[in-house]
A = this chain, B = another copy of it.
Amino acid sequence: MKIRKAGEKDWQGIYRFLSEIVTKGETYAINRDAGEEELKHLWLKKPEACFVAMLDGRLAGSYYLKKNQQGGGSHVCNAGYIVDPEFRGRGLARKMCAHSIETALEMGFEAMQYNFVVSTNEGAIHLWKSMGFQIVGTLPGAFRHPEQGPVEALIMYRFL
């Protein structure tokens, strides 16, 4: 597996499974009917950095990295990760997380914060914990899961 910086030419490869994940609406607080341009802005354009993970010659995952706050909060970054459902269970999320921590350090960040980890996303929570993240906050009923209704969202944090 190889992780490299994402460029304009990677967008269609990212969008292919990002749109699927967003439409499902189970893990990200993004409008389920968000248009392509909105998603492109959110994932590829706005963040300070965007990466893609290549596996078997295909674009199998992606993550973004950005400041979580401005001003006095700009030393803390935020990241988001997606894996093509076809490539699940092959350790991509873990590798992207490790890569994002390295990249964030190189960029001068001192901590990383996940603002909104849906509590039903147990695999992700388990993974982030194993990568050194702690649950530092719990938002009651803050996410409306399409099947399970209102569920908690967690805030997870680690120093780099």
Binding site for B on A (CB under 8 A): 22, 25, 28-32, 34, 69-76, 110-111, 113, 115-116, 118, 136-146, 153, 155, 157, 159
Contact = CB atoms under 8 A, between A and B. Distances in A.
A142 B111 contact: yes
Nearest to A110: B141
Number of copies: 2
Closest 10 A/B residue pairs (Cβ): A137-B137, A29-B73, A29-B69, A72-B144, A72-B143, A30-B71, A137-B155, A31-B71, A29-B71, A31-B70
A22 B32 CA distance: 35
A73 B157 contact: no
A29 B70 contact: yes
